[in-house]
Structure 1
Amino acid sequence: MLQVDANTSRELRAIIFAMAAMDKTIASQIRKTTRAAIVPEWKSTLAQHADTRLQHRVLVSTAAATVTNLNVKLTAGSKGKPLAGGLDPKTAAGPVEFGADQQSERTYVTTSRKGKSYRVTRRTSVQLGPRRRAGKAFYPAANEIIPRVLALYAQTVVRTLSDALEGKSNG
């Protein structure tokens, strides 16, 4: 899990204190505006890092962002219905992101239509690629976009508070 500690930055602490002290309607507007700006950026950055069609279907198409007064949470692979072939993004996100053991083979005995038994060996995780501890799409994309997300959040808070103090209305 990637986290940024607000205690390391005076600006982040100031934003959190400002969000806690402001009017609920203004805070709600900030959250909506921030989320609307972050989600397309998050999806495009994730798409740049996703190499395979499987990563696009499981991670990019399910990418989302949640904005609260205290945090911004980027997610992928935690929602959505199963794909046409039955693959559920919620359960497959981990192997798709980190790969799988390439030695994973499953051997079993089956029977042909004529009644003859024979052994079948299937390599069940080749399509997931080799293991990569640092991740393949989500974690590299998150590392790239987190500074931009924090800057966008800070800019949105400052701009909305400034507009509210000047008496302007955005929504």
Structure 2
Amino acid sequence: MIDVRDHKELQAVVLAMKRLEPTVKKSINAATRDTLNPVWKSLVAVNATSEFDSKLLVPGTRIAAGNPPRAVAASSVRGIGESKRLKPATDFWMAEFGGRSNKTSTYTRKSKNGGTHKVTRRTRAGLPQPIRKGRAVYPAFAEIAPRAVSLWTQIVILETHNAFEGKG
């Protein structure tokens, strides 16, 4: 994650954005979305190697323009799969970070004969192996972050220049 407070150059761009007129800000935000959205979406899609990753991480992937802009992934709240129980916005961690497959859940159920008995299941057996650095979104962001910061700075400067020249 890039923190604006760690870079004086980015602080200057953020301050410049605060001082601009709303019409100039609107054109900067539109240019930021138009330019960075396709690149960000394609990077996340390329890094999502399995169908499970693609279904959980790619929906809702976008650049949220603002001051500063944010890269968003897996923000969809629409359920996926046959049961629609998995929602990318809340269950993204399964695909991005995996889980321990030896985690168990014990519960009581009724048997066919009318009695009850305890059942122990490995509830995360189908998840990929755990990985701290992420599988798709984190590597994609590491790849796009320097380009995105540079491009956003250039867009702010260009749109501000165009506004002063009366071109925008």
Query: What TM-score do the two structures reach when normalised by structure 2?
Result: 0.84
The answer on whether the counterparts of 1:110 and 1:120 sit within 8 Å (CA) in structure 2 is no
Once the two structures are TM-superposed, the CA of residue 116 in structure 1 deviates from its matched residue by 8.8
Task: Give 2:69's aligned amino acid.
Answer: V
Give the root-mean-square deviation of aligned CA atoms. Answer: 2.3
Look up the match of 1:163.
162
Question: Which amino acid is the alignment partner of residue 26 of structure 1?
Answer: V
Q: Does 1:77 align with 2:111?
A: no
Once residues 7 and 147 of structure 1 are traced to their aligned partners in structure 2, the CA distance between those partners, rounded to angstroms, is 14
Report 1:8-157 matches (<5 A).
Answer: 8-10=7-9, 12-69=10-67, 71-84=68-81, 85-86=83-84, 87-106=86-105, 111-112=111-112, 122-157=121-156
Q: Secondary structure at the match of 2:90?
A: helix
Give 3-state SS (helix, strand or coil) of 1:139's partner: helix
Letter of the 1:42 counterpart: W
Contact map agreement 2:101 2:126 (CA 8 A) in 1: no
Which has the higher mean CA deviation after the structures are superposed, 120-129 or 47-56?
Answer: 120-129
Q: Tell me how far 1:54 sits from its aligned partner.
A: 1.4
**Percent of paired sites with the same residue:** 31
Q: Which runs of 5+ in 2 are unaligned?
A: none
What letter is aligned with 2:124?
Answer: S
Higher alpha-carbon deviation: 19-28 or 118-127: 118-127
Q: Distance in 2 between matches of 1:6 and 1:151?
A: 16
Q: Aligned pair count?
A: 165
Of 21-30 and 77-86, deviating more is 77-86
- Equivalent-residue separation in structure 2 for 1:104 and 1:13 (angstroms): 45
TM-score (structure 1 length as normaliser): 0.83
